[in-house]
Amino acid sequence: MTRYRIVIEYDGRPFAGWQRQNNVTSVQGSIEAALFAITGEKIAVHGAGRTDAGVHASGQVGHFDMAKPFTPFRLIEAINGLLRPLPIAIVDCMEAPGFHARFDCVARSYRYHIINRRAPLTFQAGLAWRVPALLDAEAMHAAAQLLVGTHDFTTFRSIRCQSATPVKSVTRLTVTRHGEDIIIEADARSFLHHQVRSMTGCLKLVGQGRWSADDLSTALAARNRSALGLNAPPDGLTFVKAHYDRNNAPNFRNGSLTG
């Protein structure tokens, strides 16, 4: 039995999310179906994180165990061939004895893309959140720093969240403007269900001047989902990177490790 570690890229729009579910198309289920077609084995693919319906990934990491021998190159080619035309690609693969995509992950990075313009989106529709009203990115960034650190994020937690605790440690939350593009980047060991989208929605209210930094702080302190100002849509959210300790794991070519 060989354990393989893979890096996965996908456009989340056609999927009900990462997690395998009955009677709907998921990223995990699609990869497992491809592996079954290749090997005849029922193989479970484990991911570094679960993305919600419509959320994208450029650096999702997974692992699985397979009895049939394959070189990583042949395995990538076979899986990608069977995944077409679904917008999923295995972009890296290696043998990784003892590796666990979820439990060995020391941090996760997400990016949220807002396009701040009045004109409708064309080829970026579904890949970014269009906000017509002018946003103050500097005010958004300043307010975002109130969310950095270890807090009870119940206000920013979906009622469907299965995490054992609402306390999470956000190590980085930045907001930068590049022309009409506003990029929000968030790092933490782990996030609650909808946490990044909920933080983004409230920061958008700050950028519009509808909320102050104090309002954001009050919402955090409330520890109550009813205090949430806005939950951003999934369109602009991408799981960018899963980080692993270099001392315990060999490097991926695409740099999905810390350092």
Residue owning tokens 């198309």: 25
What pTM value is reported for the model? 0.93
User: Between vectors from CA 90 to CA 84 and to CA 96, what angle results, nearest 5°?
Assistant: 145
Residue 259: helix, strand or coil by DSSP? coil
With contact defined as beta carbons under 8 Å apart, do 95 and 24 qualify?
no
Residue 118 burial by Cβ neighbours in a 10 Å radius (0-12, 13-18, 19+): exposed
Q: What is the DSSP secondary structure assignment for residue 44, as one 8-state letter?
A: -
Of 11, 52, 136, 187, the catalytic one is 52
All structural domains of the chain, each given as residue ranges with its CATH number in brackets, are 2-104 (3.30.70.580), 106-239 (3.30.70.660)
**Alpha-carbon span 184 to 186, nearest angstrom:** 7
Residue 58: helix, strand or coil by DSSP? strand
Q: What is the DSSP secondary structure assignment for residue 210, as one 8-state letter?
A: S
Q: What is the DSSP secondary structure assignment for residue 125, as one 8-state letter?
A: B
Q: Bridge partners of 226?
A: none
215 is catalytic: no
pLDDT tens for the 259 residues of the chain, in order: 999 999 999 999 999 999 998 889 999 999 999 999 999 999 999 999 999 999 999 999 999 999 999 999 999 999 999 999 999 999 999 999 999 999 999 999 999 999 999 999 999 999 999 999 999 999 999 999 999 999 999 999 998 888 889 999 999 999 999 999 999 999 999 999 999 999 999 999 999 999 999 999 999 999 999 999 999 999 999 999 999 986 555 455 543 443 2
